[in-house]
Chain A
Amino acid sequence: MFLESRFESIETAVCALTDLLGTQRGDEESWYAATSSLREAMANAVRHGGRGTADDQVRVELVVEGAEVMMTVEDRGRGFDVDAVPDPTAPENLLKSCGRGIFTMRRLMDSVVFRHRGGGGTIVQMRRRLTNNDQGEAS
């Protein structure tokens, strides 16, 4: 789905994920990890991934397959060097008011991959196994 690049779209994406996971959302821990990580990825896409135009959009793909949730968030911003993001737990960064989003995603998900999008932008792909979940469905 394509969403407007605005903070209100974060809840739209989270609601879509909650609907998709539905009764087969696995344990509470997995559900929390997936929704929290989607919030962080969406927040980064909206905050840093726009070009400042009225038609900025974020593409979101949510898939539950087997016992795994896969989420892709794609923006059209300038992109960034993920390896250059400072460690928020380093003593000199501990009291900074920002910079914990990617760290949080990596702690909550089994896999978080950042790729540059051709033509500009960033693609974030996240995966996590849904424990206590034996059925699968894709969307």
Chain B
Amino acid sequence: MKQLIRDNGDVRIISLSGKITIGSGDVAMREVITENLEQGHTKILLDLAGITAIDSSGIGEMVASYTSAKNRGAQLKLLNLSKKISDILQVTQLITVFDVFDDEEEAVASF
């Protein structure tokens, strides 16, 4: 998994690409989110446009990161979900947990 970090205003955008699967990207995703939370970022937008595969471990780490952010008074939102990821969030009912966006400016304005 590769990551690209940038800011849009006061929103930290973490763009991920590659796989978020067990033993290959799941822990790395959690670590990069935790690192940014520890740096004091409270508005984090996870851009998943480049994700080619995600499994239940990857989804689990995403949920853990969401909870971790919330517990710190921060927010974690999702941007650019593929149909597959969107379907997984639908069937697991996590779509009711995450704020999901297709447009970056709209996502940034929502924080």
Residues of A within 8 A of B (CB): 7-8, 10-11, 32, 36, 39-40, 43, 47, 88-89, 94-101, 103-104, 107
Nearest Cβ on chain B to A109's Cβ, whole angstroms: 13
Closest to A28 in B: B84
Interface size, chain B (Cβ < 8 Å): 23
Q: Contacts of B94 on A, CB cut-off 8 Å? A: 94
| A95 vs B70: C-alpha distance when bound (angstroms) | 12
Provide the main secondary structure of the chain A interface.
helix
Tell whether, in the assembled complex, residue B92 and residue A88 are in contact, meaning their CB atoms are under 8 Å apart: yes
Q: Which residues of B contact A103 (CB under 8 A)?
A: 56, 91-92
In the complex where A94-B94, A94-B97, A95-B63 touch, is A36 in contact with B55 (Cβ < 8 A)? yes
Known: A10-B21, A95-B67, A99-B56. 13 other contacts (CB 8 A): A7-B24, A11-B24, A32-B84, A39-B21, A39-B55, A43-B56, A43-B57, A95-B63, A95-B66, A96-B60, A99-B60, A100-B60, A103-B91
Which residues does chain A contribute within 8 Å of B23, judged by CB atoms? 7-8, 10
